[in-house]
């Protein structure tokens, strides 16, 4: 969860986060400190690579990746059970949509009569 939240931190705050990570290591919270420092270093090294990869993808694939990222973020925030209920409700809505459209389509002539 912490690494996912660190991805949304602007680049101007990376220096402050490196200092905070170092202070956490000094006071004994080594796991959290190394997590912060490692995430910032990976973002700095791999950011331009991912930027060029996403710019070269077609818009449809980029849209699919954004939807997948949204669901992963939703799952990280709300948990596995809530996200599975939401995803199943969305799939059910998508499965019911054509039948609802057909029902609406056949009800139109009845209303005009």
Note the pLDDT of residue 10.
81
Model confidence pLDDT, tens digit, residues 23-51: 999 998 889 889 888 888 888 888 888 88
Cα–Cα distance for residue pair 6/28, rounded to 1 Å: 21
Say which residue, 50 or 88, is predicted with more confidence: 88
Note the pLDDT of residue 61.
92
Note the pLDDT of residue 92.
93
Model confidence pLDDT, tens digit, residues 45-65: 888 888 888 888 898 998 998
Domain ranges of the chain: 1-56, 58-113
Note the pLDDT of residue 49.
87
Q: Is the dihedral of CA 49, 51, 56, 60 positive or negative?
A: positive
């Amino acid at each position: 969860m912490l690494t996912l939240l660190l991805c949304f931190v602007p680049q101007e705050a990376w220096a402050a986060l490196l200092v905070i990570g170092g202070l956490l290591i000094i006071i004994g919270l080594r796991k959290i400190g190394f997590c912060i420092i490692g995430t910032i270093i990976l973002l700095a090294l791999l950011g331009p690579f991912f930027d060029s990869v996403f710019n070269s993808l077609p818009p449809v694939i980029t849209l699919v990746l954004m939807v997948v990222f949204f669901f992963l973020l939703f799952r990280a925030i709300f948990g596995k059970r809530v996200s599975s209920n939401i995803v199943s409700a969305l799939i059910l809505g998508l499965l019911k949509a054509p039948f609802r459209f057909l029902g609406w389509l056949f009800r139109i002539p009845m209303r005009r009569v």
